[in-house]
Structure 1
Amino acid sequence: MSALTLLQGAAAALSVTIALSLQTAGASNAGLGLVAAFFAGGFLAGAMLSPVQIMRIGHIRSFVFFAALAILASLSFTLGVSLMGWAVVQAVIGVCAAALYTAGESWIADATPSDKRGTILGFYHVIAKAGAIAGPFAIMSAAGGVAGFIMVAAIFAAMILPISATRQSQPEISTGTPFGPRKIIRYAPAAAVAAFSAGAVNNAVAQLYPIYAQAIAPESAATFSANFNAAILGGAMVGLWPAGVISDRVDRRLVIAATGILAGVAALGLALLSHTASEPIILGLAFLFGMGALSYYAVAVAHAADRARPDQATSMMAGIMVIWGIGSIVGPLVAGFIMTPLGATGLFAFASVMLALLTIIMFTRVVKNAEVTDDEKDPFNATQATSLALSELDPRGEDHNEQFDLFVSWMASTETEP
């Protein structure tokens, strides 16, 4: 987990450094969106193809190989600014990131007892978020320059240490074949729409928020970017479990709609108040945005799992991630073009419109289609879009599971108390 936490930190730090460097070099917002879309395309390709490479040479060699490739790619940014060149390098780093997640998360899945998978999965999500929060702070003094890329490369290099020093045996990898998008839409259209929206909105914000932060605090863009990122991810850590627990008791589509409203209103506030509100208010809105926008993907996966047979759960969850990946390619491209005439605030204008559409579609689905019964529901479990291998760790694919996570176990114990 330590290596994957460093990976989260490196990826978060790299997005800040690339965005600020391109902005300083005079690149257009549409160009920044293009570079971000290339990363997402590489990530999706890596998620689909990397299991073959891992099965061929093993987890440790694969992890070291892709980490070394990520180091070289990060250092290549120091050779000079080229929009298309950086886009290609970002695609390479996207492939590396997906492969590193696949190797690491499949290892975690293999080493985790089946009755503890939910607990380990929830703990992993918290630790991973902590890494993503820390990354931009680690390179804050050098973000936007050559030193920033060198520091990112150093974080990628640090990932190799715990992996190469381990004495654990390498696991077998068995990633379920994902359902195609059309099959997901037929089984759970609401989940497909929510996954696409989550990819489009969250990846656009994750890759382009430093431009928004620079517009608000041009004199301290790196510092404010790190604070802004921490506020969003902090909101996600607070909002995820309540959203999941509520979705176990009511129609999950209503929970997706509610989180969409929360995130959409916060995004609208970020768009309209960017030049008038104080920094604490902007960070508070970012926190609320994270509570909503980064919570509903996991609820969407749970909704899809509700509509799948136990033997289909892994393939369903892997298919949902593919749809998320498609959205993560489209989102930055569209957001970048919107930001060209509107400026940095166009990022959250795009997010608010996408979230409004998501909310409308969820309410429409609730009216037209009946809710999954309580007997058919599987307990909610935290899920994030990182690799197809993560679907193997999710206990919803098990025929029998005694413990999904610590929060659900605590809820069950309180319900039995007099």
Structure 2
Amino acid sequence: MKTMPWRDFCALVSSIGVVGLGLGATIPLTALRLDQRGIGTDIVGIITAASAFGILAATPFVSRWVARYGPRGCMLGAIAASALSTALMETTDNLLLWGLLRFVFGACMGVLFTIGEAWVNHLAPVNSRGRVVAMYTTAFTLFQLIGPALVAGLEGKVAWPFAACGALFLLALPGMALIADDAHHDEDEPHVSWRAVLPRMPMIAVGAAFFALFDTLALSLLPLYAIRQGIVTELALLSATVVLVGDTALQFAFGWLADHVGRRRVHTGCGIAVCVLLPLLPFAAGTPWLWWILLLMLGATAGAIYMLSLVACGARFQGQSLVAASAIVNASWGITSSGGPLVTGLLMQTTGINALPAVLWCGAAIFVACAWWEYKQGYVD
């Protein structure tokens, strides 16, 4: 039975955690600086979306790059490029250049997420894959949560904030150096196109797309939804944080459950739970304790859908096919995180604020339908 290479795993988790910290810091810092310059929210949204388009642009090529340069070489290059693209934002106020730099940054994130997710699946033993992947996703989310607090704490105290954020990414390099060289890279293994693996992962791709939609809407529109439901502004702004806390706190529990009960059962059960919980959102807004509990449960179950999609990738694919599958997961993320808030915001404006839970419910229902279709087709993993 395969044993867990703890040194490689801890090094990978520490590196991706630092990346999460840098990512969590650069997003609010970019929005803050643009707002301080009097830039409208429409332009802020476009520049923010440039990162998602960067992820989309890079992910189709990641498996080819890994086949040529190895996973560690690609990750080292992406870490250095993300640090440089962030630091260069300190040197210009040109909005077009900022958009380009955020595009490059997003492309680097696409490389790091794709390879990191494939790598942790390669390291994980079959009988504990749920717990191992959960530790990986929990570490990333936890560090990402710290990022905005770091920006708030250092606001006005650092002369070159973008340069400081760029330097954060460089802290991931020592961890990468500790990982065994080319731990799962086989130079003789041919490149695998994403087209070859996509038909075998509808539930996985839709699960990743749903959580990307959920995550971006929770961060961008959920506080506004809470305010419109009559929740005071200070508490409404905490709503997104509570969702992320639920996501962070319970991932290991869901991973443990998947290892002991079966990944498919837990995965599908989380989708059904989200479908049950979302219609309660409008009714919970008038009862604070119910509102917070509901948000915690939604964050936990929606986050588990994404985490278990990564687990399913590791169970279903290996080698270059696993890298290609991870690239599809990140492409799904890029598509819904860039377009989802725009569509949902328009629907909320034209049909009412409850378009938010309605859109999320439709996404969760599609995921459950894909799970049912895979079950009928006899998928086993």
TM-score between both structures, scaled by the size of structure 1: 0.65
| Aligned residue number for residue 245 of structure 2 | 231
Find the partner of 1:256 among 247, 271, 279: 271
In the TM superposition, residue 148 of structure 1 has moved relative to its aligned partner by 4.4
| Aligned residue number for residue 92 of structure 1 | 104
**Cα separation, partners in 2 of 1:352 and 1:2, compared to 1, 3 Å:** same
Structure 1 residues 37-116: aligned runs within 5 Å = 37-79=49-91, 81=93, 83-105=95-117, 108=120
| Aligned residue number for residue 45 of structure 2 | 33
Secondary structure at the counterpart of residue 169 of structure 1: coil
> Does the 8 A contact of 2:117 with 2:326 survive in 1?
no
Note the residue ranges of structure 2 that are not aligned, 5 or more in a row: 1-12
Distance, in Å, in 2 between the alignment partners of 1:354 and 1:192 is: 18
| Aligned residue number for residue 143 of structure 2 | 131
Distance, in Å, in 2 between the alignment partners of 1:84 and 1:286 is: 37
Tell me whether 1:325 sits opposite 2:334 in the alignment. yes
> Does the 8 A contact of 1:179 with 1:316 survive in 2?
no
> Does the 8 A contact of 1:235 with 1:290 survive in 2?
no
CA deviations on 1:265-306 (whole Å, 9 max, x unpaired) are 44x579xx5xx887x876555423312322223456678999
Tell me whether 1:198 sits opposite 2:202 in the alignment. no
C-alpha root-mean-square deviation of aligned residues, in Å? 4.8
Q: Which amino acid aligns with 1:13?
A: A
Tell me whether 1:357 sits opposite 2:362 in the alignment. yes
| Aligned residue number for residue 163 of structure 1 | 176
Distance, in Å, in 1 between the alignment partners of 2:217 and 2:74 is: 29
In the TM superposition, residue 65 of structure 1 has moved relative to its aligned partner by 2.9
> Does the 8 A contact of 2:53 with 2:106 survive in 1?
yes
Note the residue ranges of structure 1 that are not aligned, 5 or more in a row: 379-418
Q: Which amino acid aligns with 1:76?
A: L
Q: Which amino acid aligns with 2:305?
A: Y
Q: Which amino acid aligns with 2:172?
A: M
Q: Which amino acid aligns with 1:199?
A: A
> Does the 8 A contact of 1:55 with 1:173 survive in 2?
yes
Structure with the bigger percentage of helix? 2
Distance, in Å, in 2 between the alignment partners of 1:295 and 1:288 is: 11
CA deviations on 1:25-77 (whole Å, 9 max, x unpaired) are 44444433323332112123323323444454455554343222212221233
Residues matched between the structures, number? 359
| Aligned residue number for residue 34 of structure 2 | 22
Distance, in Å, in 2 between the alignment partners of 1:227 and 1:309 is: 34
Distance, in Å, in 2 between the alignment partners of 1:168 and 1:311 is: 16
Q: Which amino acid aligns with 1:171?
A: A
**Cα separation, partners in 2 of 1:356 and 1:366, compared to 1, 3 Å:** same
Q: Which amino acid aligns with 2:23?
A: A
Secondary structure at the counterpart of residue 182 of structure 2: coil
**Cα separation, partners in 2 of 1:28 and 1:12, compared to 1, 3 Å:** same
Pick which of 66-75 and 43-52 moved more: 43-52
Tell me whether 1:4 sits opposite 2:19 in the alignment. no
Secondary structure at the counterpart of residue 170 of structure 1: coil
In the TM superposition, residue 93 of structure 1 has moved relative to its aligned partner by 0.8
Distance, in Å, in 1 between the alignment partners of 2:226 and 2:34 is: 14
> Does the 8 A contact of 1:40 with 1:328 survive in 2?
yes
Distance, in Å, in 1 between the alignment partners of 2:87 and 2:232 is: 28
Structure 1 residues 198-347: aligned runs within 5 Å = 198-206=211-219, 227-228=241-242, 230-234=244-248, 237=251, 240-241=254-255, 244=258, 250=265, 253=268, 255-263=270-278, 265-266=280-281, 268=282, 273=285, 284-299=293-308, 314=322, 319-335=328-344
**Cα separation, partners in 2 of 1:337 and 1:157, compared to 1, 3 Å:** farther
| Aligned residue number for residue 394 of structure 1 | none
In the TM superposition, residue 142 of structure 1 has moved relative to its aligned partner by 3.1
Q: Which amino acid aligns with 1:297?
A: Y
Q: Which amino acid aligns with 2:363?
A: L
> Does the 8 A contact of 1:36 with 1:204 survive in 2?
no
In the TM superposition, residue 259 of structure 1 has moved relative to its aligned partner by 1.9
**Cα separation, partners in 2 of 1:289 and 1:21, compared to 1, 3 Å:** farther
Pick which of 112-121 and 10-19 moved more: 112-121
Secondary structure at the counterpart of residue 171 of structure 1: coil
Distance, in Å, in 2 between the alignment partners of 1:217 and 1:21 is: 26
Q: Which amino acid aligns with 1:231?
A: V
| Aligned residue number for residue 6 of structure 2 | none
Secondary structure at the counterpart of residue 135 of structure 2: helix
| Aligned residue number for residue 177 of structure 1 | 193
Distance, in Å, in 2 between the alignment partners of 1:337 and 1:11 is: 27
